[in-house]
């Protein structure tokens, strides 16, 4: 049976050089069994003629909000009701900004507002446009509203630049559509996840911490929720909205995180230790602000409890996934941690660079498990999280069988 048999896909095409890829995407969606209708923005016609999509789909292409030749005066309502998924590929920076702002000045934007079905976008633009703070804010807001953001990819662009902004290849987008309609790989699984930094008080106004933003952990929570998991997120202090559907436990110190995790661990099926837990705390935090004085000052530091090792050592332990953030000897340190803490998997990433890891929207991982490894190439943390959760689900299922 074809993977997308009887599925109705509304494919939106916006203005951009990647519009030529939408033709191949359309062909592959139909080959997978989907019924596809195409909606173009007026600017998309500057790159590909509607006749191309009409010939491939076997149906007229919808363009104008007020079309005298339309099947109905309410096409924007009828099409929105017809589809099972509205996929915009490519989605230009202009389109994403208007979608975030709630504009409805063309047929495609109107359909996005009128549809009760999921909306997915595949961003495609110049790498500098994608890096612009306005674009990043638009994508973050769309993510928060449950718009599916697939991509972009990293690589050489039509303008000659190299960086993130390429539309995902048609094969990957079709795979994402197939996975979207599949039952979640973690349906009913109890997943416990830590995210963000911890803070260790020096006095009431100062603390020891690290540069973790929590973005990777929160992206993992979102990806796990989409796969049907029941997610408990134990989070240190971050400036991120709580993922809808997750049970959020907000903590500050490593000890608070340890206590919260240990209360849940034995009832969990999977534990992902993504938080950047502060390794040491001040032996005796001051009750009042320490006043500045001439000369040196010393702090006595003592180690915090190792949360991941404690969970892994439980008699009734979950499937344990660790993270290793390293500045050198990535593989050596990750494999040592995998063995020493008796983990099922470990995801290692290089930190210290400006383009991935802490305080950025991008990451790349080397994932290890006993007798296996897999690389996850540099991409947005949302895309990285999706791929890592799929891999965790695969290994978790294998471990149970």
Q: What is the mean pLDDT of residues 313-334?
A: 93
In terms of pTM, does the model score above 0.85? no
Q: What is the mean pLDDT of residues 263-274?
A: 96
| Interior/surface letters 233-261, b for 16+ CB within 10 angstroms, e for the rest | bbbbebebeebeebeebebbbbebbbebb
pLDDT at 233 over 70: yes
Find out whether the peptide bond into 331 is cis, omega within 30 degrees of 0: no
Q: What is the pLDDT of residue 221?
A: 96
C-alpha–C-alpha distance, residues 141 and 161, integer Å? 26
Q: How far apart are the first and last CA of the chain?
A: 26
Catalytic residue numbers? Answer: 159
Would you state the structure tokens that stand for residue 21, as one six-digit string? 């890829």
pLDDT at 36 over 50: yes
Would you state the structure tokens that stand for residue 230, as one six-digit string? 């029941």
CA atoms within 13 A on the CB side of 82: 16
C-alpha–C-alpha distance, residues 250 and 243, integer Å? 13
Q: What is the pLDDT of residue 244?
A: 81
Higher-pLDDT residue of 267, 359: 267
Closest C-alpha among 305, 307, 273 to residue 195: 273
Is CATH 2.60.120.10 correct for 190-283+297-400? no
**Domain 8-181, CATH among 3.40.50.300, 3.40.50.1950, 3.40.309.10, 3.30.530.20:** 3.40.50.1950
Collapse the DSSP code of 41 into the 3-class scheme (helix H, G, I; strand E, B; otherwise coil) and give the result: coil
User: Which sequence spans correspond to the domains of the chain?
Assistant: 8-181, 190-283+297-400
Q: What is the mean pLDDT of residues 328-349?
A: 94
Would you state the structure tokens that stand for residue 383, as one six-digit string? 């895309």
Q: What is the pLDDT of residue 68?
A: 46
C-alpha–C-alpha distance, residues 253 and 277, integer Å? 8
> DSSP alpha helices (H): ranges in 125-276?
127-131, 133-144, 170-181, 215-226, 254-264
The yes-or-no answer to whether 8-181 and 190-283+297-400 have a common fold is yes
* Chain segment 141-175, per-residue pLDDT in tens: 898 788 988 988 877 777 777 778 889 999 999 98
Confidence of residue 202 (pLDDT cuts 50, 70, 90): very high
Report helix angle 133-144 to 93-101, nearest 10.
50
* Chain segment 234-266, per-residue pLDDT in tens: 999 999 988 888 999 999 999 999 999 999 999
* Chain segment 274-307, per-residue pLDDT in tens: 999 999 999 999 999 999 887 888 899 999 999 9
Q: What is the mean pLDDT of residues 79-103?
A: 94
């Amino acid at each position: 049976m074809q993977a997308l048999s009887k599925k109705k896909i509304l494919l939106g095409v916006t203005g951009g050089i990647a519009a030529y890829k939408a033709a191949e995407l359309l062909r592959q969606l139909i080959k997978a069994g989907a019924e596809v209708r195409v909606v173009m923005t007026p600017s998309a016609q500057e790159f590909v003629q509607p006749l191309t999509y009409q010939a491939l789909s076997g149906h007229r292409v919808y363009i104008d909000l007020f079309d005298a030749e339309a099947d109905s005066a309410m096409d924007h309502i009828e099409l929105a009701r017809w589809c099972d998924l509205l996929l915009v590929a490519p989605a230009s920076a202009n389109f994403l900004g208007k979608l975030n702002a709630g504009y409805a000045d063309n047929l495609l934007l109107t359909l996005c507002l009128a549809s009760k079905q999921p909306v997915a976008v595949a961003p495609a633009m110049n790498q500098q446009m994608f890096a612009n703070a306005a674009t990043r804010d638009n994508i973050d807001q769309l993510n928060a509203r449950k718009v599916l953001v697939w991509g972009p990819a990293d690589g050489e662009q039509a303008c000659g630049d190299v960086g993130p902004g390429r539309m995902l290849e048609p094969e990957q987008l079709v795979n994402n559509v197939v996975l979207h309609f599949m039952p979640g790989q973690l349906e009913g699984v109890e997943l416990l996840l830590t995210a963000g930094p911890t803070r260790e008080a020096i006095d009431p106004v100062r603390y020891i911490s690290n540069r973790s933003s929590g973005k990777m952990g929160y992206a993992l929570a979102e990806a796990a929720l989409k796969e049907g998991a029941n997610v408990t997120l134990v989070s240190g202090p971050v400036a991120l909205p709580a993922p809808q559907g997750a049970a959020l436990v907000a903590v500050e110190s490593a000890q608070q995180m340890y206590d919260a995790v240990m209360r849940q661990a034995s009832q969990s099926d999977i534990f992902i230790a993504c938080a950047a837990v502060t390794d040491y705390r001040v032996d005796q935090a001051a009750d009042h602000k320490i006043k500045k004085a001439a000369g040196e000052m010393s702090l006595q530091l003592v180690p915090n409890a190792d949360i991941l090792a404690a969970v892994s050592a439980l008699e009734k332990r979950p499937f344990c996934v660790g993270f290793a953030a390293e500045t050198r000897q990535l593989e050596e340190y990750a494999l040592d941690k995998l063995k020493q803490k008796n983990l099922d998997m470990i995801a290692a990433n290089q930190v210290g660079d400006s383009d991935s890891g802490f305080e950025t929207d991008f990451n790349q991982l080397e994932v290890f498990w006993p007798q296996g490894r897999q690389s996850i190439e540099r991409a947005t943390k949302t895309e990285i999280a999706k791929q890592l959760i799929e891999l965790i689900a695969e290994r978790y299922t294998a471990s149970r069988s």
